[in-house]
Amino acid sequence: MADKDRVDRDLADAGWEPDGTFSDHLAIGESGDLCILVHRSTWETDVPTYELYDVGRHVSYWVHEIPTPERAGRAVRGARGALRGGVSVSTIVAR
């Protein structure tokens, strides 16, 4: 289990710019059009799940470790709406 400050440090260590906008519910790391979202439930579990989100393409990709922004970009660009290695990939349609 990690606390919010630890999550923010882990994001920064991996090369993300932490954003405290929704600090009570969500930790966000930003890098260009990519974000990594760490939902509060992740802070409260020993099995972390992180959502990679491409703002321009509206694509989410779920992973179990914090990647660098470069690795996240490759993962999201390869996302095609299927299950890959036990990680859910989903496309979100903007309305």
The predicted model scores a pTM of 0.76
63: tokens are: 């992973």
Q: What's the pLDDT score for residue 1?
A: 46
User: Quick one: how far is CA 7 from the chain centroid?
Assistant: 11
Q: What's the pLDDT score for residue 31?
A: 94
Sign of CA dihedral 5, 30, 16, 75: positive
Mean pLDDT by 10 residues, the chain (95 residues): 79 92 83 92 83 89 92 82 44 40
Q: What's the pLDDT score for residue 80?
A: 56
- State how far the alpha carbon of 55 is from the alpha carbons of 4, 45, 52, 66, 94, in Å: 23, 27, 10, 18, 10
47: tokens are: 């099995």
